Amino acid sequence: MKISDYVIVGAGSAGCALAYRLTEAGRSVTLIEFGGSDMGPFIQMPAALSYPMNMPRYDWGFMTQPEPHLGGRRLATPRGKVIGGSSSINGMVFVRGHRKDFDFWAESGAAGWGYDDVLPYFKRMETWHGGASEWRGTDGPLHVTRGPRENPLFDAFIEAGQQAGWPHTADYNGEHQEGFGPMEATIWQGRRWSAANAYLRPARKTGLLTVVRGFARRILFRDLRAYGVEIDRKGQVEQIHAGREVILSASSINTPKLLMLSGIGPAGHLQDHGITPLADRPGVGSNLQDHLEIYMQYQSLQPITLYGHYNLFGKGRVGAEWMLTKTGLGASNQFESCGFIRSSDQVDYPDIQYHFLPLAVRYDGKVAAQGHGFQAHVGPMRSKSRGTVRLNSAQPKDAPLISFNYMSHEDDWKEFRACIRLTRKIFDQPAFAPYRGDEIQPGAAVESDEQIDAFIRDHAESAYHPCGTARMGAASDPMAVVDPELRVIGVEGLRVADSSIFPRITNGNLNAPSIMTGEKAADHILGRAALPGRKDLRAAE
């Protein structure tokens, strides 16, 4: 096999964007991905989103260690094992994050990653179908759309948020995130518009991209310089060499695992597993963060929810319409309205997110409430809890040990209680009076702090937003793993470009900032000047 300029591990959100931009610049790329094709209807049909994240064919199937503050429960941690990575199995919700998220990154050592620095990359990556806006992109590979909101419950949720005292936001990805409004999705012409559809397929057409299906075992080093990746392919161990650099885009779970298997990580932990440390970076696998959420569910007084389609015949009819026309209920992820609010006036920007769904059902699609209902997914955005990813052994095929340490900070409990009480306030507004029946979950009897805490302990689930395990920061920061150019500190020829690099989790779903990371990484790798930073438009008016 010829040697490509760059070897990327992981055909996920950031890896696909990165491969596209590098090949667009005339560079040759070998992209290593263990998962197979993403062309099945379970992936491409938006409404089928609960299926691929629970299918071993498409999902790595990671589970946490028993979580001590959640009653010892082990929580699912899905990660995409398929072309497109987690963008092929996620909920397709598109949220950039808040300005202050990225300004925090810059202030904590990630120079050049403040909001004004990253905004041009968010714009470059998208084609937004919401009309003219100086905040949005118009000719990028990633189509961003809004659902039709034909079910009256979607607009009732937005109206109820305003009746409860919060603003309406016309575009939470634009100037103002705070408030209630329409939700955006990576859906185009009725199909999931994953990173594979947006970036990888165009990159293949350049003739400069080679996709290799294989299991990455470790990074190959000559002295302290990375020169390739060792993979398992069809039962054989092979080496894929890079002419210039190796880039890890393997997820916030598999990227730190690969770094540690390759000798980069906490020296004592590596030695415990018989791995000779190449670079002692204690931050590898640390700083693990996620969003937790619970589902506030209510019975519907009117038979207008998706429950009428939640049976074998109904699903078949929706699927058939989508297969024939790419329209109908199957063409939406059914998250068509949302909210971003502050838990109190003492918080300076939103710290609670809502996804509204016109069905009372578990996220994995396994259990629907008996009868018509609706729900809001709600949870705090900036938990202070931090966890770890650690090696289980030195065997590459062994899954890592994942410990989020959820709810380990006392503020998490206070914020989650606020989530439940504020959600009740929203659903108690006049906009929901024609629709709102009894509270299914947690149930009206769950009122005291102790009762709410018990409900959270038993029912909180991951929103599947893991990040932070190879934190970006100043090269002098002992806990940083990559510098602001995304170069792994302590070695040469190796970078990380995925959600591992996030110093702190962003407000909302992580697909958009992960793709932005791949976009921006490309300019760093190519040695290009960053896109011109954007001055605050409000100050210019």
Per residue in 318-358, pLDDT (tens digit) is 999 999 999 999 999 999 999 999 999 999 999 999 999 99
Question: Is the domain covering 148-181+292-380+408-459 a CATH 3.30.410.40 domain?
Answer: yes
Q: What is the mean pLDDT of residues 87-100?
A: 98
Predicted local distance difference test score (pLDDT) of residue 311:
86
- Note the pLDDT of residue 541: 35
pLDDT at 504 over 70: yes
82 is in an annotated binding site: yes
Residue 47: φ, ψ to 5°: -70, -15
Looking at domain 1-143+183-287+467-541, its CATH architecture is: 3-Layer(bba) Sandwich (3.50)
Contact 237, 217 (CB under 8 A): yes
Is 465 annotated in the active site? Answer: yes
pLDDT at 99 over 70: yes
Question: pLDDT-based confidence at 2, cuts 50/70/90?
Answer: confident
Judge whether 347 is annotated as a binding position: no
**Cα of 128 vs its chain's centroid, Å:** 19
How far is residue 504's CA from residue 466's CA, in Å, rounded to a whole number?
Answer: 11
Enter the tokens of residue 531.
Answer: 């896109």
The C-alpha atoms of residue 410 and residue 82 are separated, in whole angstroms, by: 37
Nearest to 332 by CA among 125, 95, 151: 151
pLDDT in tens, 381-395: 999 999 999 999 999
Tell me if 229 is assigned to a ligand binding site: no
N-terminal to C-terminal alpha carbon distance within the chain:
55
The predicted-structure confidence for 356-376, as pLDDT tens digits, reads as follows 999 998 766 666 667 999 999
Work out the mean pLDDT of the chain and round it to a whole number.
Answer: 96
CA atoms within 13 A on the CB side of 99: 15
| CA–CA separation, 306 and 326 (whole Å) | 18
In degrees, rounded to 5, the angle at the alpha carbon of residue 168 between the alpha carbons of residues 94 and 361 is 55
Q: What is the mean pLDDT of residues 54-66?
A: 96
pLDDT for position 448 = 98
What pLDDT is stored for residue 363 in this prediction? 60
Q: For residue 453, count CB atoms less than 10 angstroms from its CB and return exposed for 0-12, middle for 13-18, buried for 19 or more.
A: middle
Catalytic one of 69, 98, 176, 465: 465
Asked if domains 1-143+183-287+467-541 and 148-181+292-380+408-459 share a fold, the reply is no
C-alpha atoms less than 13 angstroms from C-alpha of 102 in its C-beta half-sphere: 23
Task: Give the pLDDT score at 531.
Answer: 94
Question: Using one digit for the tens of pLDDT, what is the confidence trace for 464-489?
Answer: 999 999 999 999 999 999 999 999 99
Question: Is the pLDDT assigned to residue 538 strictly greater than 50?
Answer: no
Instruction: Report pLDDT for 367.
Output: 60
Q: Where are the domains of the chain?
A: 1-143+183-287+467-541, 148-181+292-380+408-459
Which tens digit of pLDDT belongs to each residue from 202-218? Answer: 999 999 999 999 999 99
Measured distance CA(246)–CA(240) in Å, rounded: 10
Per-residue model confidence as pLDDT tens digits over 137-184: 999 999 999 999 999 999 999 999 999 999 999 999 999 999 999 999
Residue 443 φ then ψ, to 5°: 110, 140
Average pLDDT over residues 104-132: 97
Please say whether the beta carbons of 455 and 294 come within 8 A. Answer: yes
Q: Is the pLDDT of residue 232 over 90?
A: yes
Please write the tens of the pLDDT for every residue from 69-91. Answer: 999 999 999 999 999 999 999 99
Torsion angle defined by CA atoms of residues 89, 94, 100 and 106, in that order, rounded to the nearest 10 degrees? 60
State the pLDDT at residue 535.
Answer: 58
Q: What is the pLDDT of residue 368?
A: 64
- What average pLDDT does range 113-124 have in this prediction? 98
Give the closest residue to 16 by CA, choosing from 214, 211, 256: 211
The pLDDT value recorded for residue 537 is 45
